[in-house]
Structure formats: C-alpha cells, structure tokens
Amino acid sequence: MVVLGVDPGFGFSGYSIFNENRGIVILLECGLIRLKSSDSLATRIKIFYDHFLLLIERFSIEKINLETSFLYKNPQVFLKLGYLRGILYLIAAQKTIIIEEFTPKQIKLIITGSGSASKEQVARVLLKLFPRIQSFDKDDISDAVAIGLSGIWSKKN
C-alpha cells in the first residue's frame, strides 16, 4: 500500500509518501511545495494540480490522506484552502484512488495514543519513528508525515 499524506496551503504544502508491506512501514519521501504569491490564483492551482498528479503517478499512490480543516480565522482564506483540497479530490477521482480525511484529534490519537497531544509531541514521536529525519524544517512537513502515517496505521480501509 502506497499512501500520500498532504497538508495543502497556498504558501507551503507539505506532503509525505509511505509504503507499507506486511507491517513494514517505510517513509519514501517527504517535502514541501511552495506556491509563489506572485503567480495568479489560477496558476498556483494548476501548479499544485500538476505537481501532485505527477507525484501520484510516479509513486503509484493508492490512497490520499488529508486532515479535515476547520474554520479558525479568515473565512476567505478558509474558502481558498478548499480550492486546493478540491484539486486533490479531482485527482483521486481521475486516478480512481481512495481519498480520506482524519480530524486533527484522530491523527493525534493514531500517532501518539492521545487525542489531546501537542503538535510538538506528535513531531517528537515521528522523529523517533523515522530517525533518518534529523528535524522538520516546517510544521507543514511534520503535519503531512502525521497525516500519511495515520492513513497507513488506521484500518479504515
């Protein structure tokens, strides 16, 4: 099973790619995509689409995992986050792969055993699990790793 975890955003999008085979979980790749604010909204959305389509084809991704978003601050920023999420749903349908979401609480519970764990605690657990990662440059990456690993460890599908 090859799973892609994504934490989408118009500034930075974090992503992780996991392979699971008979209980052995390997983190194949994790990283960041940066969208330039100097590009138009439409251009940034197309770059996001092209990038993830390529990634999904190259790694033969079988499942996409996302974190469910909740409205915290600006509704217009929240709406535009939906633009990027919609792109991932489109790709899932185009490539007939599964797409599923977890709430932040579910992810914390799956990774640390506690739904009320802090972001830092989640990151610490991930660094222990995957010692080849020295540190996470940005929260977007550790979030994406947590999301992808949740997709591997949960038995939803």
Q: Which residues are catalytic?
A: 7, 67, 137
Q: Is 92 in the site for a second copy (CB under 8 A)?
A: yes
Q: Is 45 in the site for a second copy (CB under 8 A)?
A: yes
Closest CA to 102 of 30, 62, 156, 50: 156
Cα–Cα distance for residue pair 64/56, rounded to 1 Å:
9
Q: Are 20 and 3 in contact (CB under 8 A)?
A: yes
Among 26, 54, 79, 129, binds a second copy (CB under 8 A): 79
Rounded to 5°, the CA angle 137-66-46 comes to 80
Q: Is 134 in the site for a second copy (CB under 8 A)?
A: no
Q: Is 86 in the site for a second copy (CB under 8 A)?
A: yes
Among 3, 27, 85, 146, binds a second copy (CB under 8 A): 85
Least distance from a second copy to the Cβ atom of residue 69, Å: 6
Among residues 23 and 75, whose Cβ is nearest to a second copy? 75
Q: Are 98 and 92 in contact (CB under 8 A)?
A: yes
Q: Is 94 in the site for a second copy (CB under 8 A)?
A: yes
Selected range binding a second copy among 13-21, 38-46, 109-117, 143-151, rule: CB under 8 A: 38-46
Residue 118 phi/psi, 5-degree rounding, is: -85, 165
Assigned token pair, 72: 């915290």
Q: How far apart are the first and last CA of the chain?
A: 11
- Positions touching a second copy (CB under 8 A) are 40-43, 45-46, 49, 69-71, 75, 78-87, 89-90, 92-94, 99
